Amino acid sequence: MHVDNLPVGPLAAPPSGDREPTGAQPVVTARQVTRTYGRTRALTGVDLEVRAGEVLGLVGHNGAGKSTLMRVLAGLEACDEGVVTVRGQEVPRDVRPGAAEFRAVRMAYQETSLCPDLTVAENIWISSRRCLPRLRWRRAASAAVQRRLDEMFPGHGVVPRDRVEALTLARRQMVEIARASLVDRLDLLILDEPTESLGPDAARSLYDHVRTLTARGTAVLLISHRIREVLSVADRVAVMRDGAVVADKPAAGLSEDDVLVLMGAEVAAPADPGPAPAAVPAGDRPVIAELRAASGHGLHDVSVRVGAGEVVGLAGLAGQGQQEVLERLWRPVRKDTTVLGSRAYVPGDRQRSGVLPLWSVAENLIVTAMRGLARYGVRRRAEEAAAVRSWVDRLAIRGGADAGMTELSGGNQQKVIVARAFASTADLVLLDDPFRGVDVHTKTDLYSLIREEAANGRSVVWHSSENAEMAHCDRVYVLRAGRVVAELAGEEISEERIIAVSFAESTEAPQ
């Protein structure tokens, strides 16, 4: 639908009086839906109903089929078998992506769908041009996205003329979510891991907006590995396993353990750091990396020390200098930074800096280990294949070594990138929020992997947006506004302590 006389500031959600909530009427329904990619059966007969005016939480392990199902429900891919209905109308299986039947169904992707070389406003024009005036479209698109961002994420800091590639990962995610909601009619909004890149304040603002949408009758389908978050906002929870929905229950009365049991009994136990490693005073470890009163590029007089065989955490509120510390250690070109030995880096933005999309899982995984496995400069294919098999089996990477990287779910892509770093011979491994979008079972395995590698003498510097993960570290530096405001060790390291230090300093540190 094109509206030439649409006023500036279009695409705002219609007043609640114009669209009454429709109760339990289904918006989109899937019946015995299957989808296959080569040898991989991503969906094996899914039954799911999404109702107007509700938040449906969808959970499951990486590779359970969640993202594939969402693409089918959004009309981006056709199912091989089964039936998809939208507002009671059956959709032909040969329907093309972007068909009219799905125009009121919008999706915000975990890996953003934005064009990095274009501005924010230009991206909005591409996705919402049917609802924007042809004349002065740039002004209309800018006004629309500015208004929506202000509603969803107060204090977002995004300017419509900003190029997407210049935005932080969190701001790109905000634009991605706003983009998905900018349409003249919104029946279903699909949010795929929407808060993995967002700080707690932005996440709270998003869910406040979600409640506003559902009060107006819009359905919201939320995919997340953060089970507590899902239970706090969802009306109903559906659990996927091995390409099928195995449970569909009201969220009220469900606990996190209940959901984990439904996902698979082997993940029912919460992740536990396990027995603490034998305490080694930081001063007794040989120093493998160090920042000495480092300043510039977002840092102010930062001193960080990493000992051999030590796991060092970088914590605090998002965007306070943690990535800048990792960048200094990755490229130690300044005199205030010293790094001994080789390094491997797991980037926080896997699509821009981590995944080699045209390569297979095996090629992505082994590229950093080739030199260490070679003999006299000659590659040893058998040793490479054995290493790949070992990591694929160890991390249960769905699809196997021969799968293309773009065929994997986001969580499985992340497993490959983490495995690539640890498959190398690097003395220092740098992790920038490495478990974003990874399920709880895989997280537990990777926590154990980090501790094993540290016990073997490898050093790890680890930034995480989840403060609870810092309990797996030997020492933690808490950053605020580019400064180290606390250094915690041993029993001092806890989520509560990190939060307390972060906010206490936020009221005292100079702005």
The pLDDT value given to residue 10: 39
Q: Which of 21-30, 102-111, 285-294, 354-363 comes out lowest in average pLDDT?
A: 21-30
- Quick check: do 26-104+186-265 and 282-508 share a fold? yes
- Local confidence band at 406 (pLDDT 50, 70, 90 cut-offs): confident
The pLDDT value given to residue 269: 42
The pLDDT value given to residue 325: 94
3 state DSSP class of 70? helix
Per domain, the residue ranges of the chain are 26-104+186-265, 112-184, 282-508
- Local confidence band at 343 (pLDDT 50, 70, 90 cut-offs): very high
Tell me how far apart the alpha carbons of residues 246 and 242 are, in angstroms, rounded to a whole number: 9
3 state DSSP class of 24? coil
3 state DSSP class of 48? strand
- Local confidence band at 12 (pLDDT 50, 70, 90 cut-offs): very low
Tell me how far apart the alpha carbons of residues 35 and 273 are, in angstroms, rounded to a whole number: 38
The pLDDT value given to residue 304: 95
Mean pLDDT, residues 380-385 taken together:
89
How does the average pLDDT of the chain come out, rounded?
Answer: 83
- Give 273 or 104, the one with higher predicted confidence: 104
Say if residue 18's pLDDT is above 50: no
Mean pLDDT, residues 64-81 taken together:
88
Tell me how far apart the alpha carbons of residues 150 and 154 are, in angstroms, rounded to a whole number: 5
Q: Which of 14-18, 54-58, 453-457 comes out lowest in average pLDDT?
A: 14-18
The pLDDT value given to residue 40: 75
Q: How far is CA 12 from the centre of its chain?
A: 27
- Give 230 or 495, the one with higher predicted confidence: 230
Q: Which of 91-100, 256-265, 387-396, 442-451 comes out lowest in average pLDDT?
A: 91-100
The pLDDT value given to residue 2: 35
Q: Convert the pLDDT of each residue in 467-496 to its tens digit.
A: 888 999 999 999 988 899 999 998 888 888
Q: Is the dihedral of CA 14, 19, 21, 24 positive or negative?
A: negative
Rounded (5°) CA angle 233-239-245: 135
- Token reading at 259: 């959901």
The pLDDT value given to residue 353: 67
The pLDDT value given to residue 427: 93
Q: Is the dihedral of CA 83, 88, 92, 98 positive or negative?
A: negative
The pLDDT value given to residue 280: 53
Tell me how far apart the alpha carbons of residues 78 and 34 are, in angstroms, rounded to a whole number: 9
The pLDDT value given to residue 506: 44
The pLDDT value given to residue 351: 66
Tell me how far apart the alpha carbons of residues 191 and 115 are, in angstroms, rounded to a whole number: 19
Q: Does domain 26-104+186-265 have CATH number 3.30.70.3270?
A: no
Say if residue 72's pLDDT is above 50: yes
Mean pLDDT, residues 455-471 taken together:
88
The pLDDT value given to residue 97: 63
- Local confidence band at 464 (pLDDT 50, 70, 90 cut-offs): confident
Tell me how far apart the alpha carbons of residues 509 and 501 are, in angstroms, rounded to a whole number: 11
The pLDDT value given to residue 501: 81
Question: 282-508 adopts what CATH topology?
Answer: Rossmann fold (3.40.50)
Q: Which of 38-42, 212-216, 280-284 comes out lowest in average pLDDT?
A: 280-284
Greatest mean pLDDT range, 37-46, 292-301, 413-422, 493-502: 292-301
The pLDDT value given to residue 282: 54
> 274 Cβ partners below 8 Å, 6+ apart?
448, 451
- Give 251 or 264, the one with higher predicted confidence: 251
What's the alpha-carbon Rg for the chain, to the nearest Å?
24
Ramachandran class of 17: left when φ > 0, alpha when ψ lies in -120 to 50, beta otherwise: alpha
Tell me how far apart the alpha carbons of residues 330 and 353 are, in angstroms, rounded to a whole number: 13
Say if residue 507's pLDDT is above 60: no
The pLDDT value given to residue 88: 83
